[in-house]
Structure 1
Amino acid sequence: MNYYLGVDGGGSKTLAVVSDSAGRIVGRGESGCGNHQLGVDLANRNIREAVAMALLQAKVEQTEIEFAMFGLAGADREADFQILRPMIANIGFNKHSIVCDTVIGLRAGTKQQDGVVMICGSGTNCYGINKRGEAFQCGGFGYAFGDFGGGSELAVEVFRSVIRSWEGRERNTLLTQATLRTLGFASVEQMFHAYLDEGVRVPHYLAKLLFEVAGEDEVARGILRRQGIELGLAASAVIRKLGMQHDKFDLVMVGSVLTRGDSEYLTPYIQKEVSGIAPDCNMRILTMEPVAGAILLAMEQSGSNVDNSVYEHLEERLSVKEIKTAWAID
């Protein structure tokens, strides 16, 4: 029996799983932040801890792992890999590889080896790979580098819309009372001065207010509409760069902003942008933990056959629960 290790190292948590050759999960380990950009030593320690826990639960020795695949947030550029290659190599797996967490998110969301993944959690990112194995990433580096949105920026859009409405630069919005209630202020003026005087950052959870009032509020709908259009533009850019306009593939949507049940305020705008250039693209919400993609890639890297039973076993243990209602910026 061969065993495979998959690791999903994100900004808030690291998840490691051990699978046998049939896709049955035999070990699981969790720890904290696995993004080296938030601290190399912190990420190294947490990745090692999650891996050790998974191996211990699986009762599998490290030498028994046929292939280990690490999907890590922040693994975007060569400068990142210069840090990550020795860090992961020192863990000691004979055969291993490192990819960005967008790559394992895509692989977990489609049975094809080509496709596009769109992430909208705390930030945004888009990645694709075509039938020839050519890959392209669009975004993931913040507003100054072309991105718009994600939970953190949407929260700022909520806050500034409330300020603009109070000042008269924006129409009245239901976001005002929702924001004051959430932050515990009696008035916008009080909130305005408190945040300036204390230098407080806008909390990311304000983003959820957009969905709460969007049904009756044009300001909220306008912000979500812009987010949808921007995500559609990113996906379209990836599709064009990779020449996938006439291919049949899945566009996998990942992250709390996209996987909520009320993403109806976003997805029509994404679909409009994408369907105009790739009519055979199929939009789907990720229903398995991204770490499932790491297991699938590990199997494929080692030359193992991935059949439907593998997907069934992975879905049995790694399905994303409450995918339609969860709000957890990751």
Structure 2
Amino acid sequence: MVNDFGESMLFLAIDGGGTKTEAVVADRGGRCLGRAVFGGSNPNFVSFEAAAHAVAAAVRSALEAASASPGRIAKAACCIPGMKKHREELSRLLEDELGLASVLYDSDMDSTLFGALGAKEGIAVLAGTGSFAMGVNEHGDNFVVGGWGPIIGDPGSGYAVSASALRAAALAHEGRGPNTLISDKLKRHYGVTDIAQLKSVISADNTGSLTYLVREAACEGDGVAKKLVFEAGEQLAELAQAVIKRLDMDDARYKVVLTGGMTVFGDPLLSAFTASLRRECPSITIGTPFGPPSAGALMLAYRAAGVPWSDDLLSSLKMTLL
């Protein structure tokens, strides 16, 4: 497909998750012109009303930062998990209320994959509020592991680590587990004086962002917190291993990348991930992310418009989005 969009036309990425929503406006050459971040938009973790507010605010702010009107957007790519059942309402918001003429509704898995790799082949492991691994091999075969959501479980995710932290504090309170610094941090976070009071204050929409407490406790030497980080790294490696084996990708030609908000744990998480992955998949290359999922969403918008992923475009994306 050969596009007929002029050089003055712009492209819009909308990347959503459990804790944040990012909108990016870029030109045809991959140069970021406007960017905005607001609250979560995954309706598995927030209400649709809150999600819609975050999406609208992010899009409007990104357009304002780029000094652009909705009419200049040649193609927008919207990649928000959990939105399938709200597709009609989301379409009304973006196309009718915000005035976007052409919107591609795609998977957050695709945007994460291409954003992490900056290429058409490889494996991306997302460790954000949720978790999944997705790979595409040289034949175009793809496979996804995880992404089940908070009820069935997203191993190694921020939500899973947060739930484990709450569980560890409960066990310590009852004398069924070791004492942990996480307990006092949770009490301060929720404004309670006793761990038992957590029963009345925690809910699905206020537990996904407790990972910073686990990180603090781990940095302070807490054994329970360090164990949670280690286990998360191993669980994320298991997701990658399943994809690698299914697609026969244990080869140095392919790259696997760990990306998402959980990477703030740094070396403890990455070391556990790497060691576990290497035991089962010794040949695959372990790399660093090309860019955020918003870069992948822009790549999807370009592809839908017939704009090729040239080296110059990808280089520009990487320089202006990091």
After superposing the two structures, state which structure 1 stretch, 229-238 or 175-184, moved more: 175-184
Native 8 Å contact 1:36 1:44 kept in 2: no
2:130 aligned residue (120, 123, 135): 123
| 1:11-50 alignment runs, 5 A limit | 11-37=18-44, 38-40=46-48, 43-44=51-52, 46-50=54-58
Partners of 2:248 and 2:89 lie apart in 1 by 32
- Quick check: 1:51 aligned with 2:59? yes
* Matched residue, 2:171: 164
- TM-score by structure 2 length? 0.78
Query: 5 Å matches for 1:47-86?
Result: 47-60=55-68, 62-75=70-83
Match of 2:214 in 1: 210
**2:318 match:** 315
Partner of 2:270: 267
Unaligned 5+ runs, structure 2: 1-6
2:195 counterpart of 1:192: yes
> For 1:161, what is the secondary structure of its paired residue?
helix
Q: In the alignment, which of 118, 137, 142 is matched to residue 144 of structure 2?
A: 137
SS in 1 for 2:282: coil
Q: How far did residue 222 of structure 1 move?
A: 2.2
Counterpart residue type for residue 304 of structure 1: V
SS at match of 1:145: coil
Distance (whole Å) between structure 2 residues aligned to residue 43 and residue 225 of structure 1 = 32
Measure the CA separation in 1 of the matches of 2:139 and 2:224: 43
Query: Percent identity at matched positions?
Result: 26
SS at match of 1:266: helix
SS in 1 for 2:106: strand
Aligned AA (1:311): L
Select between 127-136 and 205-214 the one with higher mean Cα deviation. 205-214
Per-residue deviation, 1:24? 1.5
Q: 1:290 aligns with which of 293, 297, 303?
A: 293
- After superposition, give the CA deviation of every residue in 1:289-314 in whole Å (9 maximum; x if it has no partner): 32122122222333323333323332
Q: How many residues align?
A: 310
Structure 1, unmatched stretches of 5+, are 320-330
- Supply the distance in 1 between the matched residues of 2:177 and 2:49 (Cα, whole angstroms): 45
Pick the aligned partner of 1:256 from 246, 258, 261: 261
17-26 or 45-54: which moved more?
A: 45-54
Assess if the C-alpha contact under 8 Å between 1:245 and 1:277 holds in 2: no
- Native 8 Å contact 2:118 2:290 kept in 1: no
Cα offset, 1:55, TM superposition: 4.0
More deviation, 239-248/223-232: 239-248
The whole-number CA distance in structure 2 between the counterparts of 1:225 and 1:87 is: 41
What does 1:301-312 correspond to in 2, within 5 Å?
301-312=304-315
Distance 2:283 2:78 in 1: 31
Equivalent residue letter for 1:240: K
Tell me the alpha carbon deviations over residues 14-41 of structure 1, each in whole angstroms, 9 at most, x when there is no partner.
Answer: 3322222221223345555443554456
1:167/1:313 Cα in 2 relative to 1: closer, same or farther (>3 Å)? same
Q: Which amino acid aligns with 1:257?
A: M
Distance 1:218 1:49 in 2: 41
Answer whether contact 2:114 2:299 (CA < 8 A) is retained: yes
- 3-state secondary structure, aligned to 2:155: coil
What amino acid is the match of 2:161?
L
Q: Distance in 1 between matches of 2:292 and 2:26?
A: 14
Change (3 A) 1:84 1:251: farther
Aligned partner letter, 2:321: L
CA–CA separation in structure 1 for the residues paired with 2:68 and 2:201? 50
